[in-house]
Amino acid sequence: MKKILIIEDDAALRENTAELLELSDFEVITAANGRLGIEQAQNNKPDVIVCDIMMPEVDGYGVLEALSLDVSTNQIPFIFLSARTDHKEVRKGMDLGADDYLTKPFEEEELLNAIETRLAKAEVFKSLLNNLPQPSSDEDQLRNLNELKNFFDD
């Protein structure tokens, strides 16, 4: 069973999204703010993270940055879920390394499709990464999923 971390400060949305994902046979972990979300990700190593942007303590951008710098979490697919629909906000999230950006309100199917797609791509990247020759030094290693994407684009 795949594990999903939902980081969302709106309790009703967090609980409803968690219930939707549980009914779709995912194990769900939740966090009410960015700081708790970082801790949950580091302690539980979810398969996908779904994160709001505007939150207290640490916003979604800070969460993504912190997890990208941590070797144990930097390859976890990351989906922003936000009320911000401005093109600049979407672009900022993607430039920081998010794998997807969904706007609120969202359709259940849209969220499930985004999660399934990210899980499938993560599996492909993981198998490709496992088949690459081992790097000669730590500097040669790909540090996160975003760098792996850039590697294959190059």
Q: Which residue type does 106 have?
A: F
Cα gap 102→125, rounded to integer Å: 22
Cα gap 86→144, rounded to integer Å: 27
Domain that holds residue 142: 3-153
CATH classification at residue 74: 3.40.50.2300
Asked if 111 and 23 touch (Cβ cutoff 8 Å), the reply is: no
Cα gap 46→29, rounded to integer Å: 8
| pLDDT at site 147 | 63
| pLDDT at site 18 | 96
Cα gap 5→48, rounded to integer Å: 6
Cα gap 141→10, rounded to integer Å: 38
Residue 9, token pair as written in the block: 């400060």
Secondary element (H or E) of residue 98? none
- Segment-wise mean pLDDT, segments of 10 residues, the chain, 154 residues: 96 96 96 97 96 93 94 92 80 84 91 94 79 57 58 63
| pLDDT at site 62 | 95
Domain count, the chain: 1
